[in-house]
């Protein structure tokens, strides 16, 4: 465990299920503050049907006005060909395709079988390559599905293997509804690395049942090189009943930096962003670091 990229997904996964709607200006301010704190990779919005996810309806405008900061990459979540079109028209240079690996979840979410969504993404790969767009793949409900229960790892690994062979440089396994436990996370990440050795494997965890940060650690042990998190622990999924926040970015930064792995993110500044966001939203956030602050032994203050 020597390196990991922390990918901020608060402006996308976080806000899409947040009951308080941020204005365009507030979203842009959030994104500016996150980049100032040292965040280098961020999902800044998604191009899905505005009626399905109203909080993301202004993603076009967000992408048109993203702050141009050296070394910062913004990505857009896309679920179909139309979304790809819109994301590209808005200027997105990195696109994250995503589908649910179970039939029930994906039909509810995308009105398509998992295989159909995957086939659409595969068909868009040549075009993305031609346009110089980096595309990644996120597999939702990779451990458990709200409709079908525990997910067969072989089902997930079959998609991972195909995605690796098709040339996806990064494949993220998402515990969309926050049911996974660390042993299963480590195992699946390890297996994914074996079946798709060309790709970087990442993890996306929700803290619904308080296993989120433990799962992030297990993913690192399994060899994950990308971890998603949301500032303040914002997040959820409108299609996943009962899902709560992503793991908090500041909690993840605290753990990872404490393990001696640099993240490039300034913890104090990030906690300030979470505090600002909490005030804008007007309700508490899940983040532990927001509550407890960083560890400052008293002696060090003398
Ligand atoms: Zn999520």
Domains of the chain in sequence order = 5-292 (3.20.20.70)
Q: Is 245 helix (H, G, I), strand (E, B) or coil?
A: coil
Residues 117 and 80: beta-carbon distance below 8 Å = yes
DSSP symbol at 140: E
Q: What is the pTM of this model?
A: 0.95
Report the separation in Å between the CA atom of 9 and the middle of ligand 1, taken as the mean of its atom positions: 8
Residues 6+ apart with CB under 8 A from 152: none
Report the separation in Å between the CA atom of 198 and the middle of ligand 1, taken as the mean of its atom positions: 24
Q: H or E element: which one contains 249?
A: helix 249-258
> Which of 37, 42, 237, 274 is labelled catalytic?
237
* Residue among 170, 169, 173, 211 at smallest CA distance from 189: 173
Report the separation in Å between the CA atom of 232 and the middle of ligand 1, taken as the mean of its atom positions: 14
Look up 145 and say whether it is catalytic.
Answer: no
Report the separation in Å between the CA atom of 116 and the middle of ligand 1, taken as the mean of its atom positions: 21
Per-residue pLDDT of the chain (302 residues; tens, 9 = 90+): 789 999 999 999 999 888 889 999 999 999 999 999 999 999 999 999 888 889 999 999 999 999 999 999 999 999 999 999 999 999 999 999 999 999 999 999 999 999 999 999 999 999 999 999 999 999 999 999 999 999 999 999 999 999 999 999 999 999 999 999 999 999 999 999 999 999 999 999 999 999 999 999 999 999 999 999 999 999 755 555 665 789 999 999 999 999 999 999 999 999 999 999 999 999 889 999 999 999 988 766 55
| CA distance linking residue 116 with residue 105, whole number of Å | 13
Report the separation in Å between the CA atom of 257 and the middle of ligand 1, taken as the mean of its atom positions: 23
């Amino acid at each position: 465990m020597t390196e990991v990229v922390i990918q901020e997904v608060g402006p996308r996964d976080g806000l899409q299920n947040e009951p308080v709607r941020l204005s365009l200006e507030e979203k842009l301010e959030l994104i500016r503050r996150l980049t100032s704190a040292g965040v280098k990779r961020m999902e800044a919005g998604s191009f899905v049907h505005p009626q399905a996810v109203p909080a993301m309806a202004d993603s076009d405008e967000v992408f048109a006005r993203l702050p141009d900061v050296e070394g910062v990459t913004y990505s857009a979540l896309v679920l179909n060909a139309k979304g790809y079109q819109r994301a590209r028209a808005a200027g997105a240079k990195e696109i994250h395709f995503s589908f649910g690996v179970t039939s029930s979840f994906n039909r509810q979410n995308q009105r398509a079988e998992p295989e159909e969504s995957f086939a659409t993404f595969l068909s868009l790969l040549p075009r993305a390559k031609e346009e110089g767009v980096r595309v990644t793949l996120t597999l939702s409900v990779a451990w458990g599905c709200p409709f079908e229960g525990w997910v067969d790892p072989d089902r997930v690994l079959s998609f991972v293997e195909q995605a690796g062979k098709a040339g996806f440089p990064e494949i993220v396994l998402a515990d969309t509804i926050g049911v996974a436990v660390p042993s299963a996370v480590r195992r699946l990440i390890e297996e994914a690395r074996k079946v798709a050795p060309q790709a970087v494997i990442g993890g996306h965890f929700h803290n619904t049942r308080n296993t989120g940060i433990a799962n992030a650690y297990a993913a690192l042990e399994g060899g994950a090189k990308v971890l998603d998190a949301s500032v303040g622990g914002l997040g959820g999924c409108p299609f996943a009943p009962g899902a709560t926040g992503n793991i908090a970015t500041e909690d993840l930064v605290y753990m990872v930096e404490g393990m001696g792995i640099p993240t490039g993110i300034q913890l104090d500044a990030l906690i300030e962003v979470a505090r600002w966001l909490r005030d804008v939203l007007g309700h508490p956030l899940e983040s532990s670091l927001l509550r407890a602050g960083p560890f400052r032994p008293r002696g060090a203050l003398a």
